[in-house]
Structure 1
Amino acid sequence: MKKSLLLLILFIPEILLSQSLSIFDVDASNFPTIKAKFYALDANGNQIRNLTPSDFELLENGLERNVTFVSCPPPKPPTAISSILTIDVSGSMIDQRIEYAKAASRAWIEGLPLGNSECALTTFNLKNYFHQDFTTDRNKLLYAIERLSVGGGTDFDAGFINPIAGALLAAKNGKFKKVVVFITDGEGDGTESAIIQNAKLLNATVYCVSLGFICPPILRNIATQTDGLWFENVTTKEQAEDVYKLILQTAQGGEPCEIEWEGGLNCISGLTNVELQITDLGAKATSSYQRPNASIAKLEFNPTSVKFPYPEIGVKIEKIVTVTARNADFTVTNITDNNAAFTITPKSFVLNNGQSTELTVSYIPADSGYIYVRFDLENDVCSTRYHASGGWRGVRPAVKTLKLIQPNGGEVFLVGKDTLITWDGIPPDEPVKIEYSTNNGSDWTTIVEKTSGLSYNWRVPNTPSDNCIARVTAKAQTSSYCDNPDVEICGKIWMGCNLDVEYYQNGEPIRHARTNAEWIDAGNKKEGAWCYYENSDSLGQIYGKLYNMYAIINPRGFVPEGWRIPTQGDFAELENCLGGNAVTGGKLKSTGTFEGEDGLWKSPNYGATNESWFTAVPGGLRFSDGTFSFLGYYCHWWSSTYSATEAWSRYISNSSAYFDKVEIQFEYGFSVRCIKN
Structure 2
Amino acid sequence: MKKFFELSSWSRKAAIGSIQRVIASTKCVAISLVLVAFLAACDDSSSASAENSEPAALSSAEKQGRSSSSSVSSAGSETLSSSSRCAGASEECDEAISSDSNAGSNGSSRSSSSEKKTESSSSEKLSEASSSSAGKVDCSTFLELEKKHDKWNWYVPKECRFNPDIDYGSMTDSRDGQVYRTVKIGSQVWMAENLNYAYTGVKFNYRDDNSDKDYSSDSSSWCYLNVLGNCAGTGRLYTWAAAIDSVKLANDAENPLDCGYGKNCSLPARVQGICPEGWHLPTAAEWDTLFTTVGGKSTAGNILKSQTGWCCDANGDDAYGFSALPVGFRHQSGYFDHFRDHAYFWSGDATLLVEKAGSMSLIAKDEYAHRSGSYKFFAYSVRCVKDSE
Q: Which has the higher strand share?
A: 1
Q: Which structure has the highest helix share of the two?
A: 2
Q: Which bin holds the TM-score, normalised by the shorter protein?
A: 0.3 to 0.5
TM-score by length of 1: 0.28
Structure with larger RCO (C-alpha < 8 A, sep 6+): 2
Scaled by the length of structure 2, what TM-score is found? 0.46
